[in-house]
Chain A
């Protein structure tokens, strides 16, 4: 369990940047008045993050990933449970890769 000082200092610097990002927005909003535009902007963040995770994967992905995402979109209309919906997409990708499709 060796801990070297230079590496620890490096990790501390990384941790400082990480803490700034993790606490910065939270602390800043303590001093910002929640006007309707700010509230509307922040409320849009979760959906935007989801889109930003999915869109590049879809853009880079092949037929299998497109099929899986299409199946997730369709399944979300029939199942209220996100886990079930996501598993359908995962099964398509895993199944397709296992059988060497795409």
Chain B
């Protein structure tokens, strides 16, 4: 499969990720409100949202800021270690997206990695399975979630409270619903079952720690199971293998 990176692909990704954008925007506002409590300025908050771009990691970071003073010494190391764990899933996202993204020049590939989030990662990989070859799709879908996150942070900093309760609109269920829909249409072969069961059990077991850690642990466990199963000649074909054949 030859990779391309076009404006058309970027636009496709941007449009495809719009349903995810509303949820991200609302959580961006919530993060902005947390920044007010931590006495972080608008410029600092937006810089953090743009540079870190990870909800769970930023919440941990902002909670460590006391009256506008960042943590130092051992406290800082503790925060950085926690964020490393929370964001470890991006190591896996980058590794698994490489066969597709590495066909693009580095000046496009690396900014694309900066825009990667949970929602646009699963959306892009699902589209890849359906035949999308344009890596611009990844950047486009990333921008569609990155912009509302930074914009939502800014609006939250103005002290704007919700016009509506996000849970009433089921926005807390948005990513779950999309992941379930994409997962249900993606896993249609018996070969996927061991990985699905492993990921579900491990993520439930780790979910008390944090969603980020649960995703990382579940994905690593499922990848190990898939790698081990691939060494067995009689293993049933997975959806990926069936699609490829």
With contacts A56-B214, A89-B177, A97-B168 known, is A73 near B118, CB below 8 A?
A: no
Q: Report the bound CA distance from A11 to B184 in whole Å.
A: 38
User: How many chain B residues touch A (Cβ–Cβ < 8 Å)?
Assistant: 101
In terms of DSSP, what is the predominant structure of the interface of chain B? helix
Chain A residues near B211: list those with CB within 8 A.
53, 56
Per-residue interface assignment for chain B, residues 176 to 202, with 1 indicating a CB less than 8 Å from any chain A CB and 0 otherwise = 111111111111000010011011111
User: Is the pair A21, B180 in contact by a Cβ cutoff of 8 Å?
Assistant: no
Chain B residues near A43: list those with CB within 8 A.
96, 226, 238, 240
With contacts A7-B70, A18-B57, A86-B19 known, is A60 near B207, CB below 8 A?
A: yes
Q: Report the bound CA distance from A45 to B94 in whole Å.
A: 11
In terms of DSSP, what is the predominant structure of the interface of chain A? helix
Residues of A participating in the B interface, judged by any CB pair closer than 8 Å: 1-4, 6-15, 17-18, 20-30, 34, 36-60, 65, 68-69, 72-73, 75-76, 80, 82-83, 85-87, 89-90, 93-94, 97-98
Residues of B participating in the A interface, judged by any CB pair closer than 8 Å: 19, 40-44, 47-48, 51-54, 57-58, 61, 65, 68-71, 76, 79-80, 83-84, 87-99, 101-102, 109-110, 113-114, 116, 118, 121-122, 125-126, 129, 167-170, 173-187, 192, 195-196, 198-204, 207, 211, 214-215, 217-219, 221-231, 238-240
With contacts A3-B44, A36-B230, A89-B177 known, is A55 near B199, CB below 8 A?
A: yes
With contacts A1-B42, A6-B69 known, is A97 near B170, CB below 8 A?
A: yes
User: How far is the CB of A9 from the nearest CB of chain B, in Å?
Assistant: 8
With contacts A1-B42, A23-B113, A44-B238 known, is A52 near B170, CB below 8 A?
A: no
